[in-house]
Amino acid sequence: MKLTKEIAISDLNKIKDNSYQEFSKKLSPDTKYQILGVRVPLIRKLAKEYKRYDLEEYFKCLDFEYLEECQLYGMILNNSKLPVNEYLEYLKRYIPKINSWAICDIFCAELKRCKKEPTLMWDFIMPYIKSDQEFEIRFGLICILDHYISLENLPKIISLVENINSNAYYVEMGIAWLLSTCFIKYPEEMFNYLCNEPKLTKFVYNKTLSKITDSYRVDEKYKEIIRKMHK
């Protein structure tokens, strides 16, 4: 059976929750898509059910009407067994359709190809870090957060974020989240970095510190000092 846009939208409408719709709208106020009100676990379950479908025509249809439709497409794409070159071609077309953190962050977390082909995907992600589009940059940042934080990569990550030239809200929040996660994993190295006048905007610097002190995975000895470091 061939999966079509019409089938996908019909199935999403069957599992929407009107009471969840208003809450979802508040979470994604900037998206240009309409919001049905479908919970993420249900979208994920639907994406898995579509594995048995012929997806060739579906992958060519990226004129999304709904946020959940865009989320579903990303999940199906990540679940696919497409050859890597074909997968990347669809991915290039999909990324510009991302216009909400709720689409971006879920998709990046489930981007299994980063584990399977880490070097190839790192090279693919890098141009998006240098984009002038808010959610293209966030896509790159969250992919790094989910799949590439390591002691070896810390200098590269720091260099990348310090050279991002964007004050867009979801970019700066993405940088702060990435750096605070690096701190959780490598507190000594990141503490030294944050204490030595990092090339970050005041907002990113303070938000990074706040995220660190909010984390239950950070030792209190660091939190006591970091609370006093806000600009």
pLDDT digits (tens, 9 = 90+) for 204-221: 999 999 999 999 999 898
Contacts of 41 (CB under 8 A, 6+ apart): none
Q: How far is CA 27 from CA 35, 40, 106, 152, 168, in A?
A: 11, 13, 14, 35, 17
Range of the structural domain that residue 202 is part of: 116-231
Q: Give residue 37's region: left, alpha or beta (phi > 0; psi -120 to 50).
A: left
122 and 65 both lie in a single domain:
no
The span from the CA of 94 to the CA of 30, in Å, is: 18
The tokens for 43 are 């979208």
What per-residue confidence (pLDDT) applies to 33?
97
Q: Are residues 122 and 106 in the same domain?
A: no
Mean residue pLDDT of the chain comes to 96
Query: What is the pLDDT confidence band of residue 14, given thresholds at 50, 70 and 90?
Result: very high
The answer to whether residues 132 and 183 belong to one domain is: yes
Q: Taking 90 as the threshold, does the pLDDT of residue 160 lie above it?
A: yes
Write down which residue in 82, 110, 138 finishes a domain.
Answer: 110
Residue 81's pLDDT band (cuts 50, 70, 90):
very high
C-alpha–C-alpha distance, residues 17 and 21, integer Å: 6
Among candidate residues 44, 100, 53, the one with its CA nearest the CA of residue 75? 44
Span 94-142, pLDDT tens digits: 999 999 999 999 999 999 999 999 999 999 999 999 999 999 999 999 9
Of the three residues 79, 110, 141, the one that is the final residue of a domain is 110
Read off the pLDDT band of 196 (50, 70, 90): very high
